[in-house]
Structure 1
Amino acid sequence: MTDSSSAMACGKAVETSLLPFAANVDSEAREDILLVIRFAHAVATQEKTEGLNPDWFNNYRRKLQFLGWDATPPPLFQQPVALRQQVIEMTLQQIGQVGSPEHLQEAERFVLGLQKDRELMGRVETRMRENNTIQFQLMPCVRRSGDYYEMVLYQMQLLALESTQHFLFVKGDLGMTLTGQSTELIRFNLRLFREQFKLKILAGVSSAAHQQILDIQL
């Protein structure tokens, strides 16, 4: 019998990583993918805090690759650009260009889910901010075949006034500057992760019990 949760799309927010899961990603696969995200996030954050690696996102990305991701280097915009477009509008546009229609659909459903709950959105946005820097990853995930899962990894970095609030959905000139952006399609070999890495990282994830993990209703 099929797990009923496998027939429903769902969304999770793990710190600054936003994860819309398609209905064909069953509950067991979701939990394992969340385990990977939590581990990569915790280790990259710890190494930044300890001064071992200040480049949080690229370190986070390398941790994901090590645990079973197959990804190609994405284009990265290095020059600051004035941001005069809705943040999420830009995000969805990039996901639609790099990913499949399914990736875009799940990302849009996730965004709508956040828009319906302003309190939840505020909790998510709080984790994205560090002083006047804002960073987040939107990562819609779909199952392709067998143990292979495809995810668009979109990341954005912004500079903003500390007084700026609800920046994800506010339109117009926000007084923010785009300092980093990348989009890539990555594939995750779930069987490889389960056979080689899962048991090794469980302890690391257990020690990161303070992580904020939220359910997003789609």
Structure 2
Amino acid sequence: MTALIAPQAAVVGGSVVAFANGVQASQREDIYMSTAFAQNATRAALQDGLVGDWFTYYRNVLRVIGWDVPKPTALTPSGARMAGQAVQGIETVIGEAYSEPVRRALLAMERNTSALKLFEDTSLRGNVGYFQMIPCLPSGPNKVQMGIYHRQFQVRQQVSGFLFGGNPAIIHNSVEQIAVITFNTLHYAQFREKVKKSVVSGSLKYLSSLDI
């Protein structure tokens, strides 16, 4: 596990993670591994019937491995496509510096059929969907400023392409939330090897790089 897993942007299961210039490769890997670990744990708990609220459980797993994720802010969905709503919501609440890496990652994802399929297959469970957009900005040698945008929704019928198009009438019970954190890599160091070992030994099939 010596080679870094640190593309500039990637689909990580049901998350799109995108970095602005200046975030170190080692920091990018830490964030990829952390969010993959949290998603894997949340999916397993969901299958075992242990999850009441998906995003709350996911945030709690991140806290266990050293993240400080505050209570999120609720957003009001607009009439735009889900991808556009995510970018708009991020820009409105925390600014263009955060929304721009996500916008570029989504443009790349729309052209990447394998990454898009991975995202959609992981995000949807029956008629319920969950996904995250995670833009990351540099904040000194040991810190990264991050936003975590979460969307939860239900679909009235089986659907593909829900992120970039489709009939909005089939989407209902939709909730958008966003939280902003400072990720401290020095604090995370005590969890790093355990998290990476768990993710890599389990499988990296949930990670697909995006060319932005």
TM-score, normalised with respect to structure 2: 0.86
1:164 pairs with 2:151: no
Which residue in the other structure is 2:209 paired with?
215
Which residue in the other structure is 1:68 paired with?
66
Structure 1 residue ranges without an equivalent (≥5): none
Q: How many residues align?
A: 208
Which residue in the other structure is 2:198 paired with?
204
Structure 2 residue ranges without an equivalent (≥5): none
Alpha carbons of structure 1 residues 200 and 172: separation in structure 2 relative to 1, 3 Å: closer
Q: Which amino acid aligns with 2:28?
A: R
Which residue in the other structure is 1:107 paired with?
102
Q: Which amino acid aligns with 1:112?
A: L
- How far apart in 2 are the matches of 1:20 and 1:148? 16
Between 118-127 and 160-169, report the one with greater CA deviation.
118-127
- What's the CA shift string for 1:153-210, capped at 9, x where partnerless? 001111113332211111663421143220111110011101x212333443244216
What RMSD in Å do the two structures reach over aligned CA positions?
A: 2.5
Between 112-121 and 149-158, report the one with greater CA deviation.
112-121
- How far apart in 1 are the matches of 2:12 and 2:87? 19
- What's the CA shift string for 1:81-114, capped at 9, x where partnerless? 9974311121111101222322111011111111
CA contact (8 A) 1:16 1:135 kept: yes
Greater C-alpha Rg: 1
**1:19 alignment partner, SS class:** strand
Matching of residues 33-112 of structure 1 within 5 Å: 33-76=31-74, 84-112=79-107
Alpha carbons of structure 1 residues 154 and 147: separation in structure 2 relative to 1, 3 Å: same
CA contact (8 A) 1:19 1:139 kept: yes
- How far apart in 1 are the matches of 2:97 and 2:78? 27
